């Protein structure tokens, strides 16, 4: 597609439930990033993929968070047993190649997650 | 870890005024990026800087890569209401696998 897309755009869930957030990167982009943005905060790095592998998962807050990418394209971020502090905007970005000298990340519109 | 400092958290200006924002780091960066985020949207890249001292313009926006490589500035001239939003700086340090680090952003309000 023309840009990065994410779904759902909004998600309200109950504490303890699992949620899946989806990201469709720009076609041809091999790198994909997940960030979390809490109210009034900057972007917190979660994980990135180069192709289907995740060289850096260091930002995942706990083992309740996981992500996968298949076919070098779509990625899913899964949060298990959601907690209220998981409420945030989850942003996905893609780029042609991670770590390239002039890498530019293009962001999707985000998924707004609210855990009640 | 690396941190980027943006302050103040919010800025209020009158339409037509110029505004300047800066971003500082305790580490040396070799790339500086400025993004704008509109309400309900993801950040959009405004300007990218790759060389110390570089000065780049994009319409009414001008950004500079500081000589020390520890800071960057974004200037918006003749502000208009649609300039409202959150402005983030982001930087990448030297290293093949270095991640982008983002500042906390500055929320800009423009009074008509």
How do residues A2-42 score in pLDDT, each as one tens digit?
899 999 999 999 999 999 999 999 999 999 999 999 887 78
CB pair distance less than 8 Å for B42 and A91:
yes
pLDDT at A97: 77
b vs e for A60-80, b when ≥16 Cβ sit within 10 Å of the residue's Cβ?
A: beeeebebebeebbebebebe
Residues of chain A neighbouring B31 (CB-CB closer than 8 A): 102-103
Measured CA to CA, the distance from residue B54 to residue B41 in angstroms comes to 29
**Could you say which of A99, A106, A107 has the minimum Cβ distance to residue B97?**
A99
- For a pLDDT cut of 70, what percent of chain A falls above it? 97
Both tokens assigned to A45: 């790095």
Of chain A, the percentage scoring pLDDT greater than 90 comes to 76
The mean pLDDT value for A39-61 works out to 89
Tell me whether strands A5-7 and B4-6 are parallel, antiparallel or unpaired.
unpaired
Nearest to B105 by CA among A61, A69, A27, A38: A38
- Please check whether residue B100 touches A, CB under 8 A: yes
**Average of pLDDT values for A73-85?**
97
Inspect the interface and report whether the beta carbons of B43 and A109 lie closer than 8 Å: no
In 3D, which of B19, B9, B13, B5 has the Cα closest to residue B72?
Answer: B5
A109: left (phi > 0), else alpha (psi -120 to 50), else beta? alpha
pLDDT band at A115 (very low <50, low <70, confident <90, very high): very high
**DSSP strands (E only) in B1-105:** 4-6, 10-14, 19-25, 29-37, 44-49, 55-58, 61-65, 71-76, 85-93, 100-102
Residue B8 has pLDDT above 90, yes or no: no
- The pair of three-digit structure tokens given for residue B74, joined into one six-digit string: 């974004």
To the nearest whole Å, the CA of B52 is away from the closest chain A CA by: 14
């Amino acid at each position: 597609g023309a840009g990065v897309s994410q779904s759902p755009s909004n998600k309200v869930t109950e504490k303890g439930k699992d949620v899946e957030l989806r990201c469709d990167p720009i076609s041809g982009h091999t790198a994909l990033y997940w960030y979390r943005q809490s109210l009034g905060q900057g972007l917190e790095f979660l994980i990135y993929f180069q192709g289907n592998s995740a060289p850096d998962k260091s930002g995942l807050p706990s083992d309740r968070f996981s992500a996968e990418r298949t076919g070098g394209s779509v990625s899913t971020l899964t949060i298990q047993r959601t907690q209220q502090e998981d409420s945030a905007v989850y942003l996905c970005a893609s780029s042609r190649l991670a770590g390239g000298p002039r890498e530019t990340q293009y962001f999707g519109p985000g998924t707004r997650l609210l855990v009640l | 870890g690396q941190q980027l400092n943006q302050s103040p958290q919010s800025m209020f200006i009158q339409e037509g005024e110029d505004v300047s924002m800066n971003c500082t780091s305790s580490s040396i960066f070799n790339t500086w990026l400025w993004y704008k985020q509109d309400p309900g949207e993801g950040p959009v890249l405004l300007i990218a800087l790759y060389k110390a001292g570089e000065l780049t313009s994009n319409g009414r926006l001008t950004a500079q890569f500081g000589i020390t490589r520890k800071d960057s500035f974004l200037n918006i001239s003749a502000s208009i209401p649609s300039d409202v939003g959150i402005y983030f700086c982001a930087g990448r340090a030297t290293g093949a696998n270095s991640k982008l680090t983002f500042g906390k952003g500055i929320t800009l309000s423009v009074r008509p």
